[in-house]
Structure 1
């Protein structure tokens, strides 16, 4: 392929061989073990690859090796940024070993998680990380090593569970607000497994302190869910001085509900989120949040999957990661 010709298709191994003036088998050998060919030919092949913009076919490599080096990650909603740290933690372990993480978004809806998972399995992923609520058909178990990341309402048979200690995190949030003098603390919650545990920690702490438990519950945990729940909370409990949201996205909805009622954060209503997502870290929001250490969950999930791939006989395990409180500008002493 002449260098000055218009490239109308993806360059192939044969194009590289022609450009470099070598055989296709030598180019294949270069891709597998460049040290086995002479420096002169190695330089010629590398130059041709660079000039043509050639990229080896991952599919062809997979067929040749019977290994995909691919890990499937199912999340519940791209709109919730909590998974960013989870993915970064996974890739910090997997990338250097040549593994690729393939994302699938299940979004709420009948059988969506099964469809997302089946799609990944059809791509022959070697293992799965489920960061979403498993569907009923999945609870019977999966046939590849599987880790559930975060508390869920169910865990497939044979799967590992690696999660933040959400009960402890809910307690931390409540303790923080109580220490600031708040005694009218509302909680925005969802119906998923993580929300259940965060709510349980909040509730047990307030009950132990003799403070009324007020919960605005919704089906989901989106910004819109947070807004609706916060509106209900502020309208039915106008004396509320602090809100603990089940995640940072719901906290964003709470900000809108507070503003719509002419109130300000934190002067009149303190707000604390959960996940310590990129949203919470933004200078504009400066949101106090419970860090669920998703990056650590991701690291441990990746390491566990690699161990299960190497030894499929390993028994599943459950591991809790200790959360931390990250103080920012949205919580203050009651006024």
Structure 2
């Protein structure tokens, strides 16, 4: 048998597999559906031919032919490395349960409505939203829907998120324990998650008697370029630098580290920095970032479980599932400078 072919130029059909295997299309369909009616030898031969030809099931046709829900639409946007880790977790959780994912991206020219329109072509049965973080999702109440990362008041929307309040409080307390008072926050845009983390920072500072030290530096968005701009704005203000920074996410924190380092500011000797997500960025060589840990694969598993429970008609006791994060302390935080 020749090596498996690269991605075919046109979609390989059941008829193509049947022709090359020398069997009927009906028999190939039986094997692909893992239904009874094919001998072990025929099944093995058909699967080998399908692999060689690069056959992949037609998700839309299978969804239409099935009597149960099988396709989850996923809406995601430009939100740093953490969303990529969530998507990886969603693929793993869905595959384990025999479901399929169809992704649709949000961009600067492609809003929620347009991204959902492309998902409709796949007849998706449920929706998981990683973005945009909106208070009223367009399909709330129309399909089983889980949002990941923020709170929605709609009673028909399930939520899987990490407690921003608890996570930011852990970060601020860690810095206070190290002697820091001038603690700034780099805010990642104006979305619901960014506002929630900013408010959590303000609350944590006031709770610790540091209300007069509150300093919020806005970012245009959530990626490393936005973090670089925010760090430069912090340097250009002309006022005294904070001794510590709590960033919206790891991408912004890593970018701030880079800009400060270029200007001769030592991390953590002069400024301690904490990120949020504990993504692969935090673990990268040369960064070793203290970060508030979210667990994307666990969050993804819980989101898929919620979808399956809703489509099966099972009871869901609490639609707002809030996970408590932990602070992973690494080399970017240290005692406040004298």
Into which bin does the TM-score normalised by the smaller protein fall? 0.7 to 0.9
The aligned residue for residue 103 of structure 1 is: 103
When structure 1 is superposed on structure 2, of 290-299 and 170-179 the one drifting more is: 290-299
Q: Quote the offset at 1:179 in angstroms.
A: 0.9
**Where does structure 1 differ by over 4 angstroms across 4 or more consecutive aligned residues?**
7-11, 134-137, 154-157, 312-316
How far apart are the structure 2 equivalents of 1:162 and 1:77?
A: 19
Matched, 1:86 2:86: yes
Structure 1 76/36 Cα, relative in aligned 2: closer, same or farther at 3 Å? same
Q: Look up the SS of the partner of 1:55 in the other structure.
A: coil
Question: Secondary structure of the equivalent of 2:159?
Answer: strand
- CA 1:119 to 1:298, structure 2 compared with 1: closer, same or farther past 3 Å? same
Distance 1:25 1:330 in 2: 62
Unmatched tracts of structure 2, length 5 or more: none
1:71 matched to 2:72? The reply is yes
1:103 Cα shift?
2.2
Q: Relative to structure 2, which stretch is displaced further, 308-317 or 172-181?
A: 308-317
Structure 1, unpaired ranges of 5+: none
Partner of 1:175: 173
Q: Residues 164-195 of structure 1, C-alpha deviation per residue, up to 9 Å, x if partnerless?
A: 00011111111111111111111111322222
Q: Does 1:327 align with 2:329?
A: yes
* 8 Å CA contact 2:222, 2:252 repeated in 1: yes
Q: Please name the residue that 2:207 is paired with.
A: 208
Q: 1:81 aligns to what SS in structure 2?
A: helix
Structure-2 residue corresponding to 1:264: 266
Structure 1 equivalent of residue 286 of structure 2: 284
Q: Which secondary structure does the structure 2 equivalent of 1:74 belong to?
A: strand
Would the alpha carbon gap of residues 267 and 99 (structure 1) be closer, same or farther in structure 2, given more than 3 Å must change? same
Looking at structure 2, the residues matched to 10 and 188 of structure 1 have their Cα atoms a distance apart, in angstroms, of 47
Q: Is the 8 A contact 2:64 2:123 kept in 1?
A: no
Residues 280 and 69 (structure 1), Cα distance of their counterparts in 2 relative to 1, 3 Å cut: same
CA contact (8 A) 1:241 1:270 kept: yes
- Say which SS state the counterpart of residue 91 (structure 2) adopts: helix
SS of residue paired to 1:138:
coil
- 1:316 Cα offset (Å): 6.9
What is the number of residues matched between the two proteins?
Answer: 327
Q: Is the 8 A contact 1:139 1:155 kept in 2?
A: no
Please give the TM-score of this superposition, normalised by the length of structure 1: 0.86
Deviations 1:219-256 (A, max 9, x none): 42222322222223334332411111011111122123
Indicate the residue corresponding to 1:138 in structure 2.
Answer: 137
Cα 1:52–1:300 shift into 2, 3 Å: closer
Distance 1:137 1:287, change over 3 A: closer
Q: Distance in 1 between matches of 2:20 and 2:223?
A: 54
Question: Does residue 218 of structure 2 align to residue 217 of structure 1?
Answer: yes
Measure the CA separation in 1 of the matches of 2:78 and 2:61.
32
Distance 1:16 1:75 in 2: 35
The CA deviation at 1:276 is 0.8
- Report if the CA contact (8 A) 2:72-2:101 is conserved: yes
Write the distance in 1 (CA, Å) between the matches of 2:215 and 2:260.
17
Moved more, 321-330 or 61-70: 61-70
2-side partners of 1:50 and 1:223: how far apart?
Answer: 40
What RMSD over aligned residues (CA atoms) do the two structures have, in Å?
2.8
Give the conservation status (yes or no) of the 8 Å contact 1:158–1:315: no
| Alpha-carbon offset, residue 161 of structure 1 | 1.6
1:64 to 1:180, Cα distance in 2 relative to 1, 3 A: same
Shift in Å, 1:294: 2.8
The 1:45–1:147 alpha-carbon spacing in structure 2 relative to 1, beyond 3 Å, is closer
Of 43-52 and 245-254, more deviation after overlay is shown by 43-52
Distance 1:209 1:18, change over 3 A: closer
